[in-house]
Structure 1
Amino acid sequence: MARIVVLGAGGQVGRSIVAEAVRRGHEVTAVDQDQNALKGVPRQATAVTGDVTGRDMVQQQAQNADVVVVALAGCTRPEHANTARAVVEVANKLGAKAPAVIHIGNGGLLENADGERIVDTQEFPAAERKEALDQADALDVLRAAKHNLKWTCVVPPPRNFGPGRRREAYRTAGDRPVTDAQGNIGISYEDFAFAVLDEVEKPRFRNKRYTVGY
């Protein structure tokens, strides 16, 4: 059993990760700045209301955790990057006692078939561009961190990502979305959470970014 803290647990992805972690028997702390949003997390998790982008809150939760999952949703620039900076600062302070960090990234930062970032294409929704670019800044912060920080960035598909059926199935890829035989991409929140917890329990992508899909 691992002690897992989920920052941004009130969002749809965060709640799915909390639910999967509880299902597997882990000790889970669900943190979100919106108290009402936390009403949707499983009762087996410990709900905490607070600023998930602040160093004090991150340190308070991280010092007793094995893994911190950063799953912020609907943020505006620079909240993702600020949270990444807080996580790095706290990890440097805790040293060898620092928890592993799993950061939930943005599918817009993956590449299309031409090697172009999806966020930089005309097809990418303009309303989502600021958050994707903030996620790019957060990834840069993690990549620049000292080697004693154990981090992983798990990226969902850039589209067809939403509620669905828990199939306990997924595939992984590097910088481009996972595609099936027909060229389709996508995954449910439930199976994305399944993949995240697999990485929590048996890390395979330390200090790397990767993506998952069917």
Structure 2
Amino acid sequence: MVNIVVFGAGGTAGSRIVREAFDRGHRVVAAVRRPEADAPYLPAGVRVVTGDATSVRSVRELAPEADALVVAIGGGDRTLWPDAARTVLDALRGMPAAPRVIHVGGGATLLDPAGTPLLEDPDFPAEYRDAALGQAEALDVYRSSADGVTWTYVCPPPLEFHPGERTGRYRTGTDQPVTDAAGRSVLSYEDLAVAVVDEIENSRFRNMRFTAAY
């Protein structure tokens, strides 16, 4: 059993990660900004607490009881994700037995065959660009850290990523999208949660980015 704290546990990705981890028998703490609103939608038996990944105090309060700390937040402007990355690293720096960080990132930070981030494609949807830029900055924060905190940055597909079925199947890559025979990169939120919990359990991508799709 692994002790897991999930920031953003009330969100689309976070709630599914909570459910996946809990169903596998792990001890899960769901950190949300409004427990009274989110607790009814999370599994009974999961401890729901007030938590904010952009607060050093909040991270430090919850980190000692965690083996893995998942950052699955959203809903803010582009500064949210790099702020959270910096906060989590600052909070864990120097902590004995600091938990590993799993950051659920943005698929548009992945690279095309020429090595250019997908978010720089002129055809990339403008409505997603700010969030993509924020997630790219968060990835840079992790990559430039040298404080001994272990992290993993998890990318879903850049566009075709929606709630759906849990199949338990997926394939992984690192810097480029995983595509099928038709050239599509597709994954459900449910199977992203499977990939995240598999990574917590098996630790294949330490201090690096990985992506998953069918």
Q: Does residue 52 in structure 1 map to residue 53 in structure 2?
A: yes
State the 1:6 CA deviation: 0.3
Mapped to 1, the partners of 2:39 and 2:107 lie a distance apart of 25
TM-score (norm 2): 0.95
| Equivalences for residues 13-28 of structure 1 within 5 A | 13-28=13-28
Mapped to 1, the partners of 2:131 and 2:183 lie a distance apart of 26
Mapped to 1, the partners of 2:136 and 2:160 lie a distance apart of 21
Q: Secondary structure at the match of 1:101?
A: strand
1:156 corresponds in structure 2 to: 156
2:206 corresponds in structure 1 to: 206
Q: Which residue identity does 1:23 align to in structure 2? A: D
* RMSD of aligned residue pairs (Cα, Å): 1.3
Mapped to 2, the partners of 1:86 and 1:17 lie a distance apart of 21
Q: Which stretch has the larger CA shift, 111-120 or 22-31?
A: 111-120
Cα deviation 1:52-104 (Å, max 9, x = unaligned): 3110001111122100000012221211111111111122130x410001011
Deviating 4+ runs (over 4 angstroms): none
Mapped to 1, the partners of 2:109 and 2:24 lie a distance apart of 30
Q: Which stretch has the larger CA shift, 166-175 or 137-146?
A: 137-146
Q: Which residue identity does 2:175 align to in structure 1? A: D
State the 1:159 CA deviation: 1.4
Q: Which residue identity does 2:85 align to in structure 1? A: A
State the 1:33 CA deviation: 1.3
State the 1:113 CA deviation: 3.2
1:120 corresponds in structure 2 to: 120
Mapped to 2, the partners of 1:186 and 1:73 lie a distance apart of 20
Mapped to 1, the partners of 2:40 and 2:54 lie a distance apart of 20
Cα deviation 1:30-68 (Å, max 9, x = unaligned): 111133234321122111123331100011111221000
Mapped to 1, the partners of 2:164 and 2:78 lie a distance apart of 29
Q: Which stretch has the larger CA shift, 99-108 or 77-86?
A: 77-86
Structure 2: where are the runs of 5+ without partners?
none
Contact 1:163-1:190 within 8 A present in 2 as well: yes
Cα deviation 1:126-165 (Å, max 9, x = unaligned): 1211111111111111112125211001100011111111
Against the structure 1 CA distance between its residues 2 and 167, is the aligned structure 2 distance closer, same or farther, given a 3 Å change threshold? same
TM-score (norm 1): 0.95
